[in-house]
Amino acid sequence: MDDRLAAAWARLPDYLSQHVALSASALTLGLIISLPLAVMAHRHSLVRWPVMTLASLIQTIPSLALLALFYPILLALSAAAEPFGVTFSALGFLPSLLALTLYSILPILRNTIVGLASVDADVREAALGVGMTDRQILTRIELPLAAPVIMAGIRTAAVWVIGIATLSTPVGQTSLGNYIFTGLQTENWVFVLFGCASAATLALTVDQLLGLIEGGVAKREQRRIIIGIIGLALIVLASLAPGLVPKRASYSIGAKSFTEQYVLAYLIRDRLAKNDLVGRRRAGLGSSVVFRALAANEIDVYVDYSGTIWSTQMRRSDQPGRAVVLREMEDWLREEHGILTLGSLGFENAYALAMRRDHAQSLGIRTVSDLARASPGLTIGGDFEFFGRPEWNALEDAYGFSFEDRREYQSTFMYRAVADGAVDVISAFSSDGRIAANDLVVLEDDRQAIPPYDAVLLISPARANDAAFVGALRPLVRAIPVEVMRDASLMVDRDNDKRSVREAAAFLAHEIGLEQRR
């Protein structure tokens, strides 16, 4: 079997069980909320309009945005609740659960209201006439008659929830989406396909089982209902099984959503394992999500870049030089957030503007100032973050670009785009192996608009004094040359002789001489 396929299968129990647990919880919570709400809306027409409008409104929010919104909201709530002794994690399960629950409400709510309203007026009159109370009419007449329509709503909700649950990866919840997000970043198409196929299979299976129950309810066949319920129960029980295995106290390792970060997270995990510590990776997090998560002790360690902290968190735009940036950043992190800067890893990964070498030469572009002069005829491509970041503002202020057009890409496709000539220049990362692989040149920042980007190992406030943990990671400080980092990333990103992230991390550990140490 293909290595990547084997790796995908190995992760399936973990991903699938967390995906099922999340979807099942969201659907259950959605049912608990929507059914009484629908009954209320059915009885009181004044409630119906606002309830339906609100549910429809929620549906119009893009799923990824809804998931992302819950993180800062929960973080604020968590901080507000802390003085009262209530603590909860704003990362992972909770924001995903809430967002998916909101999504499951509309189809269940709408179908239940429609189902209840479609009960024949004569039937309702007769039910009153034989002496049923409102409650008896609801439970004996209206709900049984509306059941097939309600079940159809539950089916729709289930398929939606299982699909959208794949988007919970960026807020730190493990799901089948991990295959897709990791695969997309590392150009591991086997992973992407595997993630899609497994999510689709799960959705279809659950849909069929619910369909069986729906048919059973409509045709009053108990056998179908029982088979459907047993099938669903087996899926949920199986998803709980991995959770029953007792886990040792573990450290949470954060990673942003690009290859270098995936490799470093694996490297950190291996370091911890060598010191008999358990590390769990939470990869694919958004840039500011991961920082806030560290400050809030949601994760224990991750690698960030001095320039990112400098401009995005500290909101500084001056350029006092590499050493000063590092020192001031360290002080600021400690004083403002209690975060420990263990040290820089030894390489820089700066935002840099890069062009295809032949293209740059033919246009006579060597520096960013050259680029600015030629910009009216050129198109620039950036990753999803770039044009919203202070670095871009600093570049624009310093050079005054007037590009003809600008486009945003997921970083994998951004490199493809510049190689294909779809864009002329991109926001590359200086330690990215794909710069060399695609024969790109990095343009010199001749006015020094972009700050230095030393990769730094950051430790959460809660773990700053954890000697075993900090000790295990200290050998990584100043140990990684940029060439080695670039090679390790490229092993994962390249099209030929592609390696897994785990292999790249092992290569990295070997190259920097950490393999033999214990």
Report how far apart, in Å, the C-alpha atoms of 185 and of each of 188, 200, 481 are: 8, 21, 22
Q: DSSP readout, 253-303?
A: EEEESSHHHHHHHHHHHHHHHHTT-EEEEEEEE-HHHHHHHHHTTSSSEEE
Q: CB under 8 Å to 160, separation ≥6 — which residues?
A: 103, 104, 107
- State the amino acid at position 484 in one-letter form: V
Token pair 């429809």: residue: 56
Residue (130 or 249) nearer to other proteins, CB: 130
Nearest residue (CB) to other proteins, 124 versus 406: 124
Measured from the CB atom, the residue of 224 and 463 that comes closer to other proteins is 224
Closer to other proteins by CB, 123 or 237: give it: 123
Sheet holding 425-429, edge to edge: 405-409, 379-383, 425-429, 351-356, 440-442
CB neighbour class for 251 (10 Å; exposed up to 12, middle 13-18, buried from 19): buried
CA distances from 201 to 16, 193, 197, 205 (A): 11, 12, 6, 6
Beta bridge partners of residue 348, listed in sequence order: 454
Supply the minimum distance, in Å, between the C-beta of residue 37 and other proteins: 24
Q: Contact residues for other proteins (CB under 8 A)?
A: 120-133, 136, 141, 144-145, 220
- What's the closest the beta carbon of residue 45 comes to other proteins, in angstroms? 17
Rank residues 147 and 482 by Cβ distance to other proteins and give the closer one.
147
Q: How far is the CB of 112 from other proteins (least distance, A)?
A: 17
Encoded tokens for 329: 């950043």
- CA-to-CA distance for 508 and 257, rounded, in angstroms? 19
* Minimum gap (Å) between residue 123 Cβ and other proteins: 5
- Which CB sits closer to other proteins, 82 or 120? 120
Using the minimum distance from each CB to other proteins, give the nearer residue, 122 or 495.
122
Provide the minimum distance between the beta carbon of 215 and other proteins in the complex, in angstroms, as a whole number: 14
The burial of 495, by beta-carbon neighbours within 10 Å (0-12 exposed, 13-18 middle, 19 or more buried), is given as: exposed
Q: Least distance to other proteins from the beta carbon of 88, Å?
A: 44
Q: How far is the CB of 152 from other proteins (least distance, A)?
A: 16
